Chain A
Amino acid sequence: MGLLSDPNRRRALINLLTRLNAPICVVCYMAGVAWFMGLAFEPFTLRTYMSENAMGSTMVEERFPSGERAVATGREFAAHKKKVSGMPVEWLVKTMQARGLEVYTQRFSRTLPFPDENKERYMVKGTNVYGILRAPRAPRTEALVLSAPCTPGDNNNQAVGLLLGLAQYFRNQIYWAKDIIFLVNDHDLIGMQAWLEGYHHTNTTGMDWSPLQGRGGSIQAALSLELSSDVVTSMDLVLEGLNGQLPNLDLANLFYAFCQKIGVLCTIQGKLQRNDWDSVSGYSHAVQTMMLMVMKQASGRPWGDHGLFLRYHIEAATIKGINSFRQYKTDATTIGRLLEGMYRKLNNLLERLHQSYFFYLMPSLSHFVSIGYYMPAFGLLAVILLPGVLSVLTPLVISHLTGAALYMLPIRFQEMAVEHFPVSETEAVVLTAIAVYTAGLALPHNTHRLLSGEGTEQGWRVLKLVALLYLAVLLGCTALINFSLGFILALTLVPAAAFVTPHVPKVLSAFVLVILSPACTLLFSVFFFQELQEMPVSFLDGWLLYLSVISQGILDHFLYGSLVYPLIALLVYPCWLLFWNILFWK
């Protein structure tokens, strides 16, 4: 620290930093991106390992025999579902009771803020059915959950069949130490939300539900089962939950360990593990897998029914049986054994899963990137903001009012928009959002001139200072909670923040700034996501998809309390507007 205490040397250092500011920024930015891309390179990542001793060393034997019968039960369920065209509540209650469970139902209803055209629902009414297997000689303090959504159409009937088959098999075993709750939730996530809110007696989203009659104490872990087709070739693990929360890594390890033991093909993000990490294609495969996770996490949506459990500090994951048209086929007995093994190990838990990581990225199922490895990439990007702070208050309020308008107007004015324009509700909401967003671009610099007349050189510097500090804090906090979202936002907003001054060429800079704005980031993300999934779309399709993504984002916020939409509308967008304002400083 002698360097900083010596005024001469300090002055020299500051001079050096000021002189080399631009190159240092560029280098840091490149290094940050390069670091991030390096995370997917296998030698730089860690192999996953089981941290929880209670699940690691003990051996369990899987004996689930009745996969065929489970498939038959699934067919029976499908028939009853078709007959009542919805959730066959009575049949499920009877079937679960026959299997020796304590059965309860929960009714719920929810009116969406605007009709969801993607899933074709507006006023949702449904019933969850759940059966509790009481563990012998356990005092109802701990429970595990196995859930299967009852989806419209022919999807997922097998999962319900397998759930019932497992219930029957589990009921006859003596070794359970925790109650096991078998839940069939109606209307997928909405039903799950209702059930979880009922179980914990909270109401975060204004849903109507009938109180639960039976409980099993504090839920330790949960798995959600989805078998989308009758033919299953591989099991896919979905981890990304609400607001980018992830379950403890041990849950992923457990799944991977049992897939290896039983010999089931297992995937993450629908991508198989590859061994050729040293080849270019192997590396790009890993990058693709990791980027898919980053995109999904950044979206802040629950990517399976498990996603809503995470808010309640319940470690949960969705296991999806997918048909990827490979030669390899997995039958219901094997899937049953996989679940049996996982549940027996979870049953052995003495404590909640807490030993392993909560913050991680997975370039493949067997490798992970921990928080200690990915944070430097973000740090390198964030460091660019600091010299900016060293070198630079006015329309902060206006920017935020615009943000608040973006947050509130789309829902408020949907009815008015529908009356006056030939659009549907969903379109009205999305188009209002885009209109407010665009209007915000015109607003600030005009009002600013009206209010304070000529701006001074000192003025924009102060504004930039505030804006940069704002952005640094905002991105830092976001990255701590949801790394992926923080990183994607930093990737686009940081360059915008770094170059903008009133003295750069206006038109070109404005164009670049718009390209780097949050809305365009989302647009690119949509295209990029499709590209990663190997389903590229045309521009028009992409645009439609973009609109539906916006509506889904708004819906997620109102239905499940996802925070991405308010974050963008109330914080990120106003922050970006500040930079826009600096550009047009007069």
Chain B
Amino acid sequence: MHVASWFQKCIEILIFYDFQEELVVRPLHSGDIYASFQFRTLWETDFMRGNKVSHYRLFPKSLGQVISKFSVRELHISFTQGYWRTMQWGQPYLPSPPGAELWVWFQDSVTDVDATWKELTNVLSGIFCASLNFIDSTNTVQPSASFKPLGIGNVTDHRFLRYATLPREIVCTENLTPWKKLLPCGSKAGLAVLLKSEKLFHSSFHSQAVHIRPVCQDWQCKTTSWELRQTLNVVFDLHNSGQGKREWSLFKMFSRTLTEACPLASSSKIYIDITDNPEGEQFELSPATSLLSQAMVLGDRRTFSVYDLTQQDTFGSVRSLNLLIRWKSTEGDMLRPLLHAERYVAGYGLQTGEIHTLMYNHHPYRSFPVLLLDSVPWYLRLYIHTLTVTSKGKDNKPSYIHYQPSKDRVRPHLLEMLVQLPPNSVTEVTVQFERALLKWTEYTPDPNHGFYVGSSVISSLVPSTVAMDTNSTRERPLFSSFFPCKEESSYFVRVYTEPLLVNLPTPDFSMPYNVICLTCTVVAVGYGSLYNLLTRSFQIEEPSPGLAKRIANVIRKMRGVPPL
């Protein structure tokens, strides 16, 4: 054995690396199908304290350099095309708003957070081929409560947090390619071979994300490591791509089948959610697997069929895996997720308007608090005194309000509220706004399209449905089902509302020439002469009277007769 390769082996043993990949497929209530990919890379290293890290193995170097250069503690970025339909699809595993979203926690060693943030967005813009460079102070906020760090660390001073969304960002293949390049196997092997853009963008919903955070490596948290989680969520439409047949397969969804796991992966699995299908009455799954797994997902105990791609017998005799789901039942009605929200602009005309945010609590008997975050651009001038929160026709006073007014052309409005949602109710938050007149260079291209307002973010700990499950349809030992245990009593949900498209008063940009001509003419001819007539008095000038006449007039004046 060569010395060099022996040395490398040693490093690999000493430094902990791990890569896992998995795909979760959930046949949705509506007949559509939800596929969620997750790729996780763990790396025990220390970017901080000026460490020069030069040996990258599974971890993408471009992201590693970003973390060390900008002293990033946590980074979450998502690109989404489409809107998650909570009422038809239930809650997603990883929520994200339409467009691009970026939130970053910096290390407390960073002195000028704003400058670092500006630089970071520009770098990320290059890495992901996205317009993240449009993030500036006018769309960045520092939420005080809604976005807490997801990794280890106890820093919650929101001075080191920056949050921004670009609701207008359009996500397409040029964003997917750099995202795939971050994977250890690229799109050459493993689950990533399924990621073909022509299929992924022929869907109802597409979302891809990158999450970087520090995590504990063991249960005692003696050592920490960096976790890079790349996720991709996609929903395929029954009507568009099912071609009428209610049948799904890997090949039909991704136009590929699986033949191997990524050789670098320690684990490579496919999970199919079969909770609603214990006896196979909803759909038929082939090839069948005996491997089952249970997990608590979003407050619900779910059962999954598991396919382990690292096992050769998964692929069977044809040496390829093509999962097939054949629906038996018909399309279902709408769901009633415990928490969902919607938002719209009310009113008409181009002067004022009102933003309505509706939050639904469908829990039959439990009320729970939610954190609402609204970031509204400065050109909608919020009248914060008109803010009302009502539930069931009564005023619902928020227990916490954090409001930062906007500054024209500098920063947006930030409104955070902690609102208690009564059981089985709709809570309506309304606030009126006035539409500002922009300077003519501030209009975007296609100004008559309107201006976007990013999604509201609703974060909450929602009471679990497991506790609601009193008539116990599932087999459970009695001793385990009396007191709800901590993990099961509530679960974290983040809901994004739809972005808003608001029309501002827009000048007719094709008319400047006409307007200039007309204005000049009116000013020159009309106003000029009128002004002239008004300010000068014109009278016929008599030739000045002679001396004799003047004397005569003086005498006549003394006599009281009119002058000559």
Query: Interface residues, chain A, CB within 8 Å of chain B?
Result: 1, 4-8, 10, 97, 100, 102, 134, 136-142, 171-174, 200-202, 214-215, 217-218, 311-313, 350-352, 354-355
Contact = CB atoms under 8 A, between A and B. Distances in A.
Given A134-B204, A141-B501, A201-B347, A215 B342 contact: yes
B296 to A, nearest CB: 30
A16 B240 CA distance: 78
B87 interface: yes
Given A136-B204, A312-B348, A352-B449, A5 B239 contact: no
B201 interface: yes
Interface string B481-516: 000000000000000001111110010101000000
Interface string B214-258: 000000000000000000000001111000000000000000000
Q: For the side of the interface on B, what is the size category?
A: 35 or more
B83 interface: yes
B538 A7 contact: yes
Given A201-B346, A350-B446, A136 B533 contact: no
Given A172-B240, A352-B503, A201 B344 contact: yes
A84 to B, nearest CB: 22
B540 A8 contact: yes
A174 B201 CA distance: 11
A139 to B, nearest CB: 3
- The A contact surface, by secondary structure, is loop
B356 A201 contact: yes
Contact of A200 (B348, B498, B499): B348
Residue among B81, B348, B538 facing the most chain A CB atoms (10 A cut-off): B348
Nearest to B97: A139
Contact of A137 (B87, B201, B447, B528): B201
Contact of B347 (A8, A100, A200, A351): A200
Contacts of B506: 354
Given A5-B532, A171-B239, A217-B501, A139 B88 contact: no
A355 B511 CA distance: 11
A139 B449 contact: no
Nearest to A98: B331
A4 B533 contact: yes
A137 B203 contact: yes
B503 A218 contact: yes
Given A7-B538, A174-B240, A142 B501 contact: yes
Residue among B83, B204, B342, B447 facing the most chain A CB atoms (10 A cut-off): B83
B348 A202 contact: yes
B450 to A, nearest CB: 6
B335 to A, nearest CB: 12
Contacts of B87: 102
Given A134-B85, A140-B83, A100 B239 contact: yes
Interface string B302-343: 000000000000000000000000000001011000000010
B205 A137 contact: yes
Given A136-B237, A352-B449, A141 B500 contact: yes
Contact of A4 (B349, B450, B499, B529): B529
15 contacts: A1-B528, A1-B532, A5-B532, A6-B538, A136-B203, A137-B203, A137-B205, A141-B450, A141-B501, A174-B240, A201-B344, A218-B450, A313-B350, A351-B446, A355-B510
Residue among B238, B345, B350 facing the most chain A CB atoms (10 A cut-off): B345
Across chains A and B, which 4 residue pairs bring their CB atoms closest together, nearest first?
A139-B98, A201-B346, A351-B448, A137-B82
Given A8-B540, A200-B346, A202-B346, A218 B204 contact: no
A139 B348 contact: no
Interface string B87-105: 1100000000011000000
A215 B344 contact: yes
Contacts of B205: 136-137
Contacts of A102: 87-88, 334
Nearest to B244: A172
Nearest to B31: A100
Nearest to A171: B239
Contacts of A8: 540
A141 B344 CA distance: 9
B85 to A, nearest CB: 7
Residue among B98, B449, B452, B500 facing the most chain A CB atoms (10 A cut-off): B449
Interface string B536-564: 10111000000000000000000000000
B33 to A, nearest CB: 14
Contact of A141 (B239, B240, B452, B533): B452
B538 A5 contact: yes
Contacts of B539: 7
Contacts of A313: 348-350, 503
Nearest to A136: B204
A7 B540 CA distance: 7
B354 A201 contact: yes
B345 A218 contact: yes
B82 A136 contact: yes
A513 B74 CA distance: 82
B206 interface: yes
Contacts of B202: 174
B348 A352 contact: no
Contacts of B239: 100, 171-172
B143 interface: no
B234 to A, nearest CB: 10
A200 B353 CA distance: 10
Contacts of A97: 331, 333
Nearest to B541: A7
Given A5-B533, A136-B237, 9 more contacts: A100-B331, A102-B87, A136-B203, A139-B98, A174-B202, A217-B498, A217-B501, A351-B448, A355-B510
Contacts of A215: 342, 344
B448 A352 contact: yes
B501 A218 contact: yes
B361 to A, nearest CB: 15
Contact of B99 (A6, A134, A139, A173): A139
Contacts of A136: 82, 203-205, 237, 240
A136 B80 CA distance: 12
A142 B83 CA distance: 12
A102 B449 CA distance: 25
A139 B499 contact: yes
Nearest to B537: A7
B182 to A, nearest CB: 23
Contacts of A354: 448, 506, 508
A138 B82 contact: yes
A134 B240 CA distance: 12
A138 B99 CA distance: 10
B498 A351 contact: no
B147 to A, nearest CB: 21
A202 B450 contact: no
B27 interface: no
A354 B539 CA distance: 52
B167 interface: yes
Contacts of B350: 313
Given A174-B240, A218-B345, A1 B503 contact: no
Nearest to B533: A4
Contacts of A173: 240
Nearest to B85: A134
Contacts of A214: 342
A138 B170 CA distance: 10
